[in-house]
Structure 1
Amino acid sequence: MENQFQWNLWKRLTEAPGVSGFEGPVRAIMREYIGAYTDEIVHDRLGSMFGVMRGNENGPKIMVAGHMDEVGFMVTRISEKGFLSFQTVGGWWGQVLLAQRVQVITPQGAIEGVISSIPPHVLSDDQRNRPMDVRNMYIDIGADSREEAEKAGVRPGQQIVPVCPLTQMANPRRIMAKAWDNRYGCSLAVELAKELHEHRDHPNVVYVGATVQEEVAGTRGAKTAAGMIDPDLFLAVDASPAGDIPGVREGGGKLGGGVLMRLYDPMYIMSPNLRDFLISVCEEENIPYQIYIAKGGTDAGVVQYHGTGVPSAVIGIPSRYIHSHAAIIDRDDYEAARKLLFAAVKRLDKATYESILPR
């Protein structure tokens, strides 16, 4: 990996625990990195965090955000025999859970565990032919009693995260990790802060950072962060499910195909003027892009409603197997998104911003 700064950033962000509502470890990393590029850091009261990069104060106020949280679980109960019941946090499909490794995050540190599965030898024919309900799954941490689990530091309400270290694959452009959704966006936010620090001539004021609680109903951190910042324009930086795997019909993003140009999702329709601006940047900068129609939403769907309205877009990339233990991105897509984000922010002066607004 030739870019050691980038690799170290990816490793720290993707391997940090940060289920919705428990984003503290990720926020600390974001604060450390972004704080190296600006002394002006702002927080809302839910935990979203932004660095303020002041270019031209007469230009538009641009909000750029990944989201810190990942899908995961929460401990809800410890049985007499030391098994943990859990609640899913964010969108999970039950069939990706059985026999997967997890960590329970306690004040004393991470405790290793595995989601319970029944060996096929003892399954009835009926059990073999139907999926197990998540409510009937447990986490085994190797404890023999509730007292032993509690002595190890486990309590109801603690976050539980998947285990998947950052891994370069057979094709070295493909990188596997947990939580690319959305530590990808956190990483790109850090890189934008670094770029604007090193090249201070941007024609605007940029609030760059990450929100919390995007993966749960209501995309909650985006609401409070927009209330704090009151942006003129918003760029969400988020990963979306790839559509290039067996069993998925074509129409989603393809790994290696470039940045995703999200035109529509159930919460959002990109304005034609903003669409044309971003596509023109891609074409002028030779940035590969893919037209994308999504079934799920992002923070852009919420921020666009703030105040009297905020033109919003998503700088996205495809990721295989999001909302599971292991996801895969293509580094070429990351670089395409990076190039688009940098170029768009540097072009968004007052006149360009006003040209994006509806007439």
Structure 2
Amino acid sequence: MLLKQLTEAMGPSGFEDEVRNLLREQLSDKVDHMYTDVLGNLFAEKHSDKTGPRVMLDAHMDEVGMMIVHAEDNGLLRFRPLGGIDPRVLVSKPVRIGSEKRYGVIGSKPIHLQTMEERKKPLRMDQLYIDIGAQSKDEALAHIQLGDVAVFATEYAEIGERAAKAKSFDDRVGCSIVAEAMERQWQIPVTGVFTVQEEIGLRGATAAAYRINPDIAIAVEGTVCFDVVDAPSHGQSTVLGKGPALTVQDGQTLADARFLEFLIATAEKHNIPWQLRRVKGGSNDFGAIHKVREGIVGGAISVPVRYIHAPAQIISLDDYQASLQLVCAAITEIQEGRWNA
């Protein structure tokens, strides 16, 4: 299963190689042309010889992670985050480090040894370390190099009622959806772009959009879902199981009202459930894409993700399927001439 493979792959920002290789293998015989740019973005082109609006489907390959920056004399490893990670969710979590994916555990001062004042404050990143079982600095550095990256050691599994848990649903759900969409036949030029370094500033998408210069772009993303106990209705950014979320405003984008209305009308026409993303924080690749060159029309279709950027995250598989349906329905409507900018 592609989604399982993608979520379990190692691919923090700047180190997306394993994810890129999986996608290249998946699509190599299903698209017309594949290539990468100097940043590491992967492009999958289909029907570039056809006439009609040029559509860009975007998903980012990178996940939040950690970089090893120092080894203590006793063999413990200090790290800094790659992307937005809340240090409060890190203590005792298993990780995999470097190309050999060596196991480690994130540790801290035990609660038994903390003062009352220390117990009142959340741990800072500089109070944490990774323990790989080494007894000395030399032993640690015999296995781990400074600059190696680490990701959470979480396996994909389907749980409960049509739900799944894994790490890196942000944005391996998008990668999987775009890959599935690119396996289908279209009557207009469509390019699937799997970008790098979204989590540290939407970097890959900027270069990718400039290169393609599409007429329409759709970013497919995993987005924050806060629908749990004690979450007031006005504070629920998205709700699990209610369908793909459409952005009105976020940290980088004010939605193009015309394209948002087009996506809503498309969802209604094809009986696809949908919801609005009701939070203005965060962003996605479309925040960079729409500002390239003279400006690019489009928007984002997002899969709600509970516990996003955490070691274990949850999605609804129904939301996944509905998001794929909406992406494909939007392309169908565009190629049939029902989108007019």
Count of matched residue pairs: 338
Residue 59 of structure 1 is matched in structure 2 by: 52
Q: Which runs of 5+ in 2 are unaligned?
A: none
Question: How far 1:55 sits from its partner (Å)?
Answer: 6.5
The residue type paired with residue 227 of structure 1 is Y
Aligned residue in 2 for 1:158: 148
Check whether the contact 2:238–2:278 (CA below 8 A) recurs between aligned residues.
Answer: no
- 1:114 is matched with 105
> For 2:165 and 2:303, how far apart are their aligned partners in 1?
14
The aligned counterpart of 2:189 is: 205
1:1-359 superposed matches below 5 A:
8-54=1-47, 57-106=50-99, 109-152=100-143, 154-171=144-161, 173-196=162-185, 202-216=186-200, 218-250=201-233, 251-294=236-279, 295-349=281-335, 351-353=337-339, 355=340, 357=341
RMSD, aligned α-carbons: 1.4
- Alpha-carbon distance, 1:350 to partner: 7.9
Distance 1:98 1:248 in 2: 25
Deviation track 1:135-166 (CA, whole Å, cap 9, x = no partner) reads: 121100000111111222x1111110001100
SS at match of 1:345: helix
**How many angstroms does 1:210 deviate by?**
0.9
Task: Give the whole-Å Cα distance in 2 for the aligned partners of 1:126 and 1:113.
Answer: 29
Query: Which range is displaced more, 231-240 or 116-125?
Result: 116-125
Contact 1:253/1:317 (<8 A) preserved: no
8 Å CA contact 2:60, 2:172 repeated in 1: yes
The TM-score with structure 1 as length reference comes to: 0.91
Residues in 2 aligned to 1:210 and 1:247: alpha-carbon distance in whole angstroms: 36
Q: Which amino acid aligns with 1:38?
A: V
Cα pair 2:193 2:208 within 8 Å, conserved: no
Deviation at 1:56, TM superposition (A): 6.5
* CA distance, structure 1, for counterparts of residue 332 and residue 324 of structure 2: 12
- 4+ residue stretches of structure 1 with deviation over 6 A? none
Query: In structure 2, what is the Cα distance between the partners aligned to 1:252 and 1:243?
Result: 6
Distance 1:225 1:112, change over 3 A: same
Q: Deviations over 1:246-301 (max 9, x none)?
A: 24333311111011111111211121211111111111100000012331111001
| Code of the aligned partner of 2:18 | P
> Does structure 1 conserve the Cα–Cα contact (< 8 Å) formed by 2:31 and 2:183?
no
Residue in structure 2 matched with residue 4 of structure 1 by the alignment: none
Post-superposition shift, 1:42? 2.5
> For residues 308 and 215 of structure 2, what CA distance do their matches in structure 1 show?
30
Give the conservation status (yes or no) of the 8 Å contact 1:265–1:293.
Answer: no
2:243, 2:3 → 1: CA distance?
19
Instruction: Please say which of residues 141-150 and 117-126 is displaced more in the overlay.
Output: 117-126
Q: What SS does the aligned partner of 2:275 have? A: strand
Letter aligned with residue 105 of structure 1: G
Deviation per CA, 1:112-134: give whole Å up to 9, x if none. Answer: 00111232222211111111110
1:36: Cα distance to partner?
Answer: 2.4
Distance 2:257 2:210 in 1: 25
Residues 60, 350 of structure 1: 8 Å contact kept: no
With 134-143 and 56-65 compared, the bigger mean Cα shift is at 56-65
Q: Distance in 2 between matches of 1:213 and 1:245?
A: 30
- Deviation at residue 53 of structure 1 after TM alignment: 0.9
Q: Whole-Å Cα distance in 2 between the matches of residues 228 and 9 of structure 1?
A: 27
Is this contact kept in 1: 2:32–2:47, CA < 8 A? no
Gapped runs of 5+ residues in structure 1?
A: 1-7, 197-201
